[in-house]
Structure 1
Amino acid sequence: MAAFNRFRLFHWLLAGFFLGVYLSGDDAELLHIWLGYGLVALLMWRLLIVPLRLRGFPKLLPPKGQRRKPGLSAIGKWLTVGALASFALASLIGLGMVDNGDVLGALPGVGAEVFGAASDIDFIVWLDEPDEMHELFANLGLWLIGLHVGYVLLFRRKMVWPMLRGPSSAGPARSPSTTLTAPAPAPVSGEFTRLRIASRQAETADSCSFILQVPAAQRARFAAQPGQFLTLKVPCGEMPLLRCYSLSQRPQGDGALRITVKRVPGGRASNWLLDTLQAGDCIEALPPAGLFVPRNLDDDLLLLGAGSGITPLMAILQAALVEGSGRVCLFCASRDAASLIFAEELTELSARHPERLQLRIWLDAEQGAPN
């Protein structure tokens, strides 16, 4: 079973058992108790696998750096932790309210004496009104589920369909090291949109980054994911050339998309872009496309790239550090230090996230070709 499907199974079993327990509390006492046992078993299993870091299951707590200044990802984590804690407290109090020896002893072929000791366990004697506390934590769990659903619909909509239907045929989600699928071919049909060059910045002697501003009316069409690319119509001759360039910065929803172009000797498109395109100019592009995207930014990621191959990895790296909670290991090879694209940005990110980012730079001129 794929790692993501293991998590899906646990997720829906947990949701189903909790809702079953909640809805059966008034009219079906025995069913309520047995569903409660199932809920306790699921919670115990989830707790036991925490140190194992089982693939497909995200970490329960956000990283230490996000606990003081929680972002969206940390808020989602705390909602989950709060719901699980409420389930656990309601379940433990419920266990203390029933005669577990009698319930378990009623199993077919099992005598009451087998579980007789369970009848003597009373761990809620210190509670004055266990019924009300049991109901309080059950209701709190239900409210936290509602907040969790609202959070997912607002900020994690891309995960809704995979959680309902399973991973798409493009490939299952993987954890802790999420697999990145190969990019899809660029679409050649569709409507091109004129994007204005907001700025350009030299990265190395033969590469440059361009910030493309998407018109407000087109921002929904140009909603992007880290790791995707733009298809540009480059007017460098009688017939324009179509060229794909990866987004090299985390999309932030403000209509600004960054691409980074490296000069290719003899390459008509890259040479025209670097020699001609300036701030204030416009160029036509198709909306972002491609499947080279992490399925879950909370997973641990291993990113491998060389030369200009760092461009999509930079967007994924930024998104994982800002929006996710996992650790990231980036291995990047370059001809020499002067040819390393995003050298300053990588240094800043490494200093800002020392606990989560492991950066490995390989320079061919100093260390030879990697093997």
Structure 2
Amino acid sequence: MKIILLGAGHIGGAIATLLHDSGDYQVTVADREAAALAKVAEAGVATEVIDLSDLTLLTRLVSRFEVVVNALPYQMAIKAATAARAAGAHYFDLTEDVYATRAIRALAEGAGTVFMPQCGLAPGFVGIAAHELVKRFDSVRDVKMRVGALPEFPTNALKYNLTWSVDGLVNEYCHPCDAIRAGKLERVLPLEGLEHFMLDGTEYEAFNTSGGLGTLCETLAGQVESLDYKSVRYPGHRKLMKFLLEDLRLSEDQQTLKNLMRAAVPSTMQDVVLIFITVSGERDGQFSQETFSRKIFAQETRRGRMSAIQITTAAGICAAVDLLRTGRLPKAGFVGQESIALGDFLANRFGRAYHPQMRIEVGSEILAAA
């Protein structure tokens, strides 16, 4: 299967090597920056320098491939999906942007190929896991999804290091969030709904952020009383972000905030992804609760260290592509994450990254729990 991967950044590089090392995909990575392509080229992956903002050039490029995997910033999602539709290619991305997903759903109408956005961690895998828990109940009262990509060793006042896209981070802090309350779909404000909880002896805070639910609200509308998604951080982070975004009004000047964060908040490869999902409801005449919990850490591989957010995000989209190849996905149209059965995902060679023992084998590539 011939794949064009758009974007050679932090996540794109991880996707490229996983798919390439599997031996089942002919992968070409496209980016406008030759320097960004150098590392994936060292791994033996084909590369192409191209201005991805030019829709004509992008469509011409995409037409040479069967599958488009988009690892570009969320602002490019609609353009990349438009090129895929014009070229008759399958389309997968990682976007957390609600508006982009709605536009991609519209593009998918009547398409003869698959359009599957939101294939990362959140949105992505967490929707698959939550949907599986929901199916185990006769009726559902509450679905709570808590997810965080955190530094293992926070040292600054924000108690945060950059582990993924600054664009995506600021975007989820600034846009309204989907939720279900009293059985009705609602929009709630980002950074609100603050709560605290303990897990494995560590205290965390969680608050509303945009995009993590994917299409789950629509899928579960009328089936659950309440459903919400919150990002997990160390205590104190949310207070400082509200100061920056609201008191200093940087929500109205997001580029300045992004520049500040890139300059002052260090990135780290020593991170942990935390997933904590609880579902409560009636089962066999009894009110009960079931929980899905994971902590996934950065790992050393034969290609060097992979951060936890690289592993979980790349595993999500690679598993989705792999399930298409093996006939485990619908063959055309818009596909939501919850269309994948949790068992199918965890049994997949890429999806094993989310297994409790944290083991993924791809070709000679092995990522194992410490």
TM-score, normalised relative to structure 1 = 0.23
TM-score, normalised relative to structure 2 = 0.23
Answer 1 or 2: higher relative contact order, Cα 8 Å, separation at least 6: 2
User: Which is strand-richer, 1 or 2?
Assistant: 2
User: Which is helix-richer, 1 or 2?
Assistant: 1
